Amino acid sequence: MFNKVALIGLGLIGSSLGHAIKRGKLAASIVGFDADADVRARAAKLGFTDAIADTAEAAVTDADLVILCTPVGAYKSVARVIAAQLKPGAILSDVGSVKGAVVRDVGPLVPAGVHFIPAHPIAGTEFSGPEAGFASLFDGRWTILTPVPGSDAKATQALKKFWEDCGAQVEVMEVAHHDLVLAMTSHVPHLIAYNIVGTAHDLEAVTEGEVIKYSASGFRDFTRIAASDPTMWRDVFLNNREAVLEVLGRFNEDLATLQRAVRDGDGDYLFATFTRGRGIRKAIIEQGQDTAAPNFGRDKKPA
């Protein structure tokens, strides 16, 4: 489908894309680059690319599809370096968790004749690095494309097809709406998970040993989320401030109400609030976005 795909950044998502492209035979050649020489050396051995370039410029030369897979905070400097090497007619895309900032930072640097179409695959694990990637990461998950005014419809269609061939379902969305939806479904949940891990760490009356020992009662699920890559998440919060603060404001209002219900011993309010979770959970399982396995018991199965 593509002659040459360039992957800039070879962590979890970049390496998974390499595996998925190979699985689907979606490119004649995959060239990878990572700013970290050690990552480049490890990636070369893992076989999810056909070649590892020594520079970003070399990686993107003659590529039909260039995908930025670095943390979002590095996009601007990467774009500056590669812009002059981008082939006319090439598609420049990315996998970042925020889209407004990407359009702001990268958009002005894209040469005329290059199709800039930001994208965001809603998939991941709590692990990082080139060894963490696998071909089926995107299977059944959603990838959101956020074309900008003037994006070429044919290029958008080609990118949509590419992600479908990587196993994903594809949705097209406005940039600002993407950032609000993700603030709600991803960014604020991660911020809260990181926060409660910090609270547990600092609570003098409960030792860290106790927190770890008794973590199966709920806390461990937050630590799993809070084990995600710190650089990636720093860049998300630096680059989606307004939407995160808006959702966080709502969360805080709701929590104040729930806190008051605990203080007042308002059992009816608590019960009603706790009941609402079950419906949304059911829908998530029915739509294939999670499994119904009783994962609190981890690998154990009902008799």
Whether the Cβ atoms of residue 116 and residue 142 lie closer than 8 Å to each other: no
Task: Centre a 10 Å sphere on the Cβ of residue 303 and count the other Cβ atoms it contains.
Answer: 3
| Position among 28, 41, 84, 203 found at the interface with its own copies (CB under 8 A) | 203
Question: In angstroms, what is the minimal distance from the CB of 53 to its own copies?
Answer: 22
Gap between the Cα atoms of 286 and 283, Å rounded: 5
Closest CB to its own copies among residues 88, 265: 265
CB of 119 to its own copies, least distance (A): 14
Tokens of 179: 């950032």
Least distance from its own copies to the Cβ atom of residue 86, Å: 29
Radius of gyration for the alpha carbons in the chain, expressed in angstroms and rounded: 21
Minimum separation from the CB atom of position 170 to its own copies (A): 12
Tell me the closest approach of the beta carbon of residue 82 to its own copies, in angstroms: 24
Q: Treating both helix axes as pointing N-terminal to C-terminal, what angle do 188-202 and 230-239 enclose, rounded to 10 degrees?
A: 120
Binding mask 123-162 for its own copies (x = CB under 8 A): xxxxx---xxxxxxx-x-xx-x------------------
Among positions 205-234, residues that touch its own copies (CB under 8 A) are 205-206, 208, 210-228, 230-231, 233-234
Residues in 9-68 that interact with its own copies by CB under 8 A:
19, 48
The Cα 160–Cα 168 span in angstroms is 9
Residues of this chain, 231-270, that bind its own copies according to CB under 8 A: 231, 233-234, 237-238, 241, 244-245, 247-248, 250-252, 254-255, 258-259, 261-263, 265, 267, 270
Q: Which is nearer to its own copies, 84 or 293 (CB)?
A: 293
In angstroms, the CA 26 to CA 31 distance is 13
Q: What angle do CA 251, 181, 172 make, to 5 degrees?
A: 175
Give the footprint of its own copies on residues 71-90 (CB under 8 A).
73
- 211-233-164 Cα angle (round to 5): 115
For tokens 């601007």, the residue is: 76
**Residues recorded for the chain:** 303
Stretch near its own copies under the rule CB under 8 A, chosen from 1-9, 33-41, 148-156, 181-189 = 181-189
Q: Which is nearer to its own copies, 154 or 298 (CB)?
A: 298
| Strand ranges for 86-151 from DSSP E | 91-94, 115-116, 119-121, 142-145
